Structure 1
Amino acid sequence: MKNKILHLSIYLFLLFSFQGIAQTSDSTFFETTETDTIAAIDTTENSVLDIDDDLNMIFSDQMDSLLNSWEIQNKFNFDTSEVRLNNFPKELPDSVYIQRLSNIEQRIDLSYNKVVRNYIKMYTEKRREQVEVMLGLSAYYFPIFEETLDKYDMPLEIKYLAIIESALNPIARSRAGANGLWQFMYGTAKNMKLEITSFVDERRNPIKATDAAARYLTNLYNMYGDWHLAIAAYNCGPGNVNRAIRRSGGKRNYWEIYYRLPRETRGYVPAFIAATYAFEYHKEHNLIPQYPEISLAVDTVMITDYLHFNQITAKIAIEKKQLRALNPMYRHDVIPAKKSKPYPLVLPQENIMAFIDADTAIFAFERNKYFPDNTLVNPTTSNSTYFTPVDIKGKAKVIYTVKSGDNVGFISSWFHVRASDLRYWNNINRDIIRIGQKLAIYVPEKDQAKYDKINSMSFAQKQESIGKTAAPTKKEEVKPLDSNYVYHTVRKGDTIWEIAKQYAGITSDEIMRLNNLKNDRGLYIGQKLKIKRKG
């Protein structure tokens, strides 16, 4: 019945930091350049490589939100004394880093060059508090990772890849839709036999997701016979790596195809090497693991019937948000278990006996409300990551379609609702919305007709409705179509990579260059993209 483990994920459910984009499409997210390089040391071939890139911002920006989380601020005890923050080595010579990397027992080449050094300094000097929190979290997650990696005879240092992917946050979700500790995209997760349904997402199950990541990385290593290339392909997809190899004349050394890779992936392997260094030598840099100030012991019981988190909290002393954090794989507070298909429930050790003693009363509590006729229905609550609100009593639901120029502030003011409510109703993260997106907005029932009209109003009219004037905008000049190109009309769900696949001999890089795009976020429905005519 019990499987005793230590569990830190209880304090992670608001951490959306450092989220990589594992198994992404092969579209290039950043423009690459082959200029401004500086000679650096390569410890594997004793040769000089022109490798340099200031990529720290790509990852450091993602890490900034880590310590701002309410949960981290309230559950971790940070020693912010001046001595603690400043008493660490700085500006170490390259020879020290090279020697230390060579001393690490590893099967993956830990090359050293200026890019790696930049990331080492980011971890050990610039983002120390974030790293100290992750060091504390690793006490739980790394044993899980190591057991799985050993099972597949993989290098144990692969565990540091999760630092790059998710900052050890089991519910991390990227803008591209990658999810969990190992940031699996939906398609890759399904191919790796992870269960994803309306109620369950095993990408957020630490044990299941780690097993899938190990299998996927093994497949990539078997494809390339090189861990650097396998790690790069995990981030940007095998298509981008294969393309970089072809453009480099068949070279299969990561550093030799470096500038042919998408820019984010160029920083991915150096960041992995630097994370390995920072975790192996955290004591030498006075990085002290930070742990939550509460009991971490939990047990697991197997559930064999439908169960709602509300039924548990009604009968034993545990908060729902704690249940959600301990059981991140359940998307709507519902465990859809049956005798033929049991699911695990993780509880704090101090609650486990109370659950066992009261299990009959727990399952019976308001049974018909949560599972009428003992069937699964639309859940009445859900967790913060996947929330889809039910109708609100006394309010009418209006569906608004996002248009060019809209933002969360504008929309909330037009509908006279709080921006925080708009975000909550539609699971909006970081105020990111896209053209064509459908937003559910709850307004007074008596005013529904008035708010329904907003969909058909111009931007100026919407601003006038709240007593503001819209600044005159320049009408975009309609340019005649150039016969030297064919044109692709962007449809819902299109990505640059998917579009490129539809036209023989055309790469995503060429599409972005011709249309002045930097990534998929520049696309909108109805947009006409230039495609170079072949032949």
Structure 2
Amino acid sequence: MLKLYRTLYIKLYVLAKSLSCARQLHTLRYLLIALLVSIALSYSLSAFNLAHAEESIQDLKARIKSLESELSRRPKDPSAYPIPKSLTFCGDKIDLRKGDMQKRFELEVIKIIKNRYQVHLYIKRATAVFPEIEDIAKELNTCADLKFLAVVESALKPKVVSRAKATGWWQFMPATAKGFKLKVSKGLDERSDLRASTKAALTYLKRLYKRFDSWPLAMAGYNTGPNRLKRSSKKQKRGSFWDLDLYTEAERYSPRVLAMYYVLTHLKDYDFAKNLDDGWPQEPLVTYRVKLPKSKYQEVKYVTKTIKVKPPKSRDRKKRRKSKRSRTQTRKLKKKVLTVSSKLNYNTVAIALDVPVRDLRRYNPHLQGKHLPLDVAFNLYLPPSRSEYLMKHFPGHSGQAVHRNKAARELNTKLAPSAKVTERIILDHSLQSNSIEKAIKQLGGSINNTYQVKSGDQLWQIAARAQLSISQLKKINQLGPLSVLKVGQRLKLKLD
């Protein structure tokens, strides 16, 4: 028995020496004290207590095993992780043994793996975003490895804004974005549109590679600007990115992208449990191209306002006396006021397309403000089986999808022929005749009758389908501010 205690004590002592974490050492000290106390007690206690001591030893063994397994899962010292001597990026082999290339690359690798929680978030987001970038890279016949540049630029978040006012997935400046036909306005910013901005970014990088014939130089040109990079290259008479003396951010940019590429493609080597396919799954989305005419949805009004104006001072005494009598004059101003139809606010559109408002905004981060943009074509991302709603509520739209993402293609859902498309808010004023009667019939009631509340119904949904405001529906049914809908309750949809 004493021999068993001795071996266990030595094992604990060796484990305590190998640990660096103060908390773990503190825990093991308590374990050693507990072991010594149990040894002292084992000599003084009877055979009954000896059996109890053996149980505590087994418990200690289990604790030691759990500590060892936890230690094996902990990240190693940075020097223990592999640093390659060369790597292949977009088909180009880059030898890192020349000059200080290895040092610059290793510095970026250490900075990436230092913040392991952030890398975990990159993995989570990449599962949904990377397939879309790969599809566009295939369309443009360019390198798919450039997707790691988006990780460095925006951490795969659509609405990131830098100090220099660069925005979106690929951090385009406003002038550069307009040069690649990305629309940047008050209600629409296509720098946050994944498909549109990715096409622009990959086209830009493809041109830069054609110009510099080197991916590190092309990526540095994307960051600092191609003309500035060309001037530095001419001035220093150096053609390689690794030999150029640039400002710190530009010098670190290409090694950072290469380090991000290497770490995220060798996650197991850096003790990450998950792969790039184990993140948040991609939601099935269908892309529609929409353009709303101003003539239908914008109202132009001229408002005449009467304002008081003080008369100008005159040098002539007689005129001054007259001006004192009428110190203020009235003048009429004609002011042009543009108002967008309330039918185009996001809440109304979300109800019409049968999509929650929050989801509509989440799917379309490029659409900003309170209303859909007018007289400009833009991408509208919706869940599958929404083409019928689009055709119904956006007159003139064919309902034909421009693109389906990978998840939507796999799902391949189609609107069942037997499924009913409920009558919802009509966005065109010319189609509103008898719409309330149609809506009431499809809700399950008649014009003179009432609607029976079903499980899951909400007051705003019933009001929207019947083309009434919530206040009107409350007034018709004499509902107070604290009234609660009950299943089976009958609501009037029209005044008697």
Q: Rg bigger for which structure?
A: 2
Q: Which has the higher helix share?
A: 2
How does the TM-score come out when normalised to structure 1? Answer: 0.46
How does the TM-score come out when normalised to structure 2? Answer: 0.49
Give the number of the structure with larger relative contact order, counting CA–CA contacts within 8 Å between residues 6 or more apart. 1
